[in-house]
Amino acid sequence: MERVCVDAAQALSACGVGVSLMASDGTHGMAAASDPDTARIEELQFTFGEGPCIDAAAAGRPVLVPDLTDGAMRRWPMYAAAVLDEGIRAVFAFPLQVGAARLGVLDVFRARSGAMSRPELGRALTLADQVVTTLLDGQERTTGTDELDEAFEHRAALFQAQGMVMVQLRTSLAEALARIRAYAYATDRPLSEVAADILAHRLRLDTDHP
């Protein structure tokens, strides 16, 4: 997971990336970070009980803060002051979730203010999805900058398979993705292989499947 964070920091032009896990029973903690300084910054959210990452986990959607000096002090007074002192100027938090189940957050830190570009947002979402995959099936995914094109192809295939399962089961997109992930986990197979089988009509996730 540490390698994932290091590669993510490079791919997103960030000074650091961290992953924190949050259980439904309130248990939480940092899982990995790209470097020791980022690990310390990642822990601040739990020290103060506030921050973009806490809000992203609670809401189940990204919290993007391109400039911590613009309103963040009012929203997260202790957290914002602490990370600004550490030289952080922007924070982007992406929830890690499977359907309604929320696993944690991928946090991206930058030492300069400014919004992420559309391609960077796409990369961040892909990386967040790969972290979820790593957590679920225990297989590390390559996330270096040179390998992101392949990651995007896998993500596109997964989206297509998700749509097919949604139609087959007459359910929501979130539930379709949860079913695909559950099947991959139960059969100990990578998500990309399961998605490929669905697209090739070799696999149909009816109610008899896990």
Q: What tens digit of pLDDT does each residue of 25-58 get? A: 455 667 889 999 999 899 888 888 899 988 998 8
% pLDDT > 70, the chain = 82
Phi, psi for 24 (deg, rounded to 5): -65, -20
Q: pLDDT band at residue 207, thresholds of 50, 70 and 90?
A: low
| Least reliable range by pLDDT among 79-88, 172-181, 201-210 | 201-210
| Separation in Å, CA 68 to CA 42, 76, 112 | 15, 10, 10
Phi, psi for 123 (deg, rounded to 5): -65, -40
Q: pLDDT band at residue 103, thresholds of 50, 70 and 90?
A: confident
- CA 127 – CA 152 distance, rounded (Å): 9
Phi, psi for 104 (deg, rounded to 5): 165, -155
CA end-to-end span of the chain, whole Å? 27
Q: Cα dihedral angle (184, 188, 33, 143), rounded to 10 degrees?
A: -70
- CA 93 – CA 140 distance, rounded (Å): 21
Residue 125 scores a pLDDT above 70: yes
Smallest Cα–Cα separation from 109: which of 9, 21, 2? 9
